[in-house]
Structure 1
Amino acid sequence: MKLYSYLNFNGNCEAAFTFYAQVLGGKIGDKMTYGESPMADQVSDEWRSKIMHAQLILGDQELMGADSTPEYFEEAKGTSVLIAVEDVEKAEHIFEALAENGTVKMPIQETFWAARFGMLVDQFGTPWLVNCDRAA
């Protein structure tokens, strides 16, 4: 069994996944627009270029997402995507990049459990936790 995070966007999934690939060092895998899908005739012309499914590959892990049509879109609440990083400098770099044009909820800092930990909501509305454990 595998668990995947699946992010929903309000029309900006392609921009978000391009940004995440750049920041996290991943690559875009599968990507399909509504216009390329069998349901192309069920969405407005404006939505045919929006992403029905996208995959970001990060080593042996995947992050997935899509643009939810307006009647189904809901902002993320009560969840976050956790990034576990082994290097303090890398954790700080990822945090600062994701925080660009977003909202920092807790600045990245040393805590009693981590060498660095921070919380933010990025410019696309995705809540992130960035954690770098203390050395063993």
Structure 2
Amino acid sequence: MHVQPYLMFEGRCEEAIAFYTQAIGAQLQYQMRYSDSPEPMPEGQLKPGMENKIMHSAIQIGDSVVLASDGNCSNSTTFGGVLLTLNVQDAAEAERKFNALAQGGQVTMPLAQTFFSPAFGMVTDQFGLGWMVIVPGEM
């Protein structure tokens, strides 16, 4: 069994992909716009102006693949109760990735040494998605 996150960016998916590519080295594996769908959307299901929005995408972040979409564009992106954990190799990488994710976002727990990690911090990025950046392992 495998659990894979599927994130809905409510109209900002393309922007989010560009941000994660720059901030944490994500790589776009696949992308389909609504206009590229081999089957047309049922009448009235697609809001006007959504034709060029992202219907489905796959983004590789390290060894993981995160799926993402513009969803139904309700303009209310919320990721309440969900955080992604970004495991990195060392404190220097943790600092780079943490600071990049924090641009335009909000630090909820500054990156610091803890009893369980040489570097751990929490940030909510500019899209409202929470991240925990950690160097795994005990001190």
TM-score, normalised by the number of residues in structure 1: 0.88
Matched, 1:116 2:119: yes
Instruction: Describe the shift of the 1:91–1:40 C-alpha distance in structure 2 as closer, same or farther (beyond 3 A).
Output: farther
Q: 2:126 aligns to what SS in structure 1?
A: coil
> How far apart, in 2, do the equivalents of 1:40 and 1:83 lie?
38
> How far apart, in 1, do the equivalents of 2:126 and 2:33 lie?
22
Matched, 1:47 2:50: yes
> How far apart, in 2, do the equivalents of 1:59 and 1:134 lie?
18
Q: How far 1:2 sits from its partner (Å)?
A: 2.2
Q: Which runs of 5+ in 2 are unaligned?
A: none
| Identity across the alignment (%) | 35
TM-score, normalised by the number of residues in structure 2: 0.87
> How far apart, in 2, do the equivalents of 1:94 and 1:59 lie?
12
Show the counterpart of 1:87.
90
Show the counterpart of 1:27.
27
Task: Report which of the two has the higher share of helix.
Answer: 1
Q: Which runs of 5+ in 1 are unaligned?
A: none
Task: Report which of the two has the higher share of strand.
Answer: 1
Q: Can you list the C-alpha shifts for 1:64-115, whole angstroms capped at 9, x where unaligned?
A: 1111214596511111000011211000100000000001111111111111
Instruction: Describe the shift of the 1:69–1:123 C-alpha distance in structure 2 as closer, same or farther (beyond 3 A).
Output: same
Count of residue correspondences = 136
Instruction: Describe the shift of the 1:45–1:71 C-alpha distance in structure 2 as closer, same or farther (beyond 3 A).
Output: closer
> How far apart, in 2, do the equivalents of 1:93 and 1:5 lie?
23
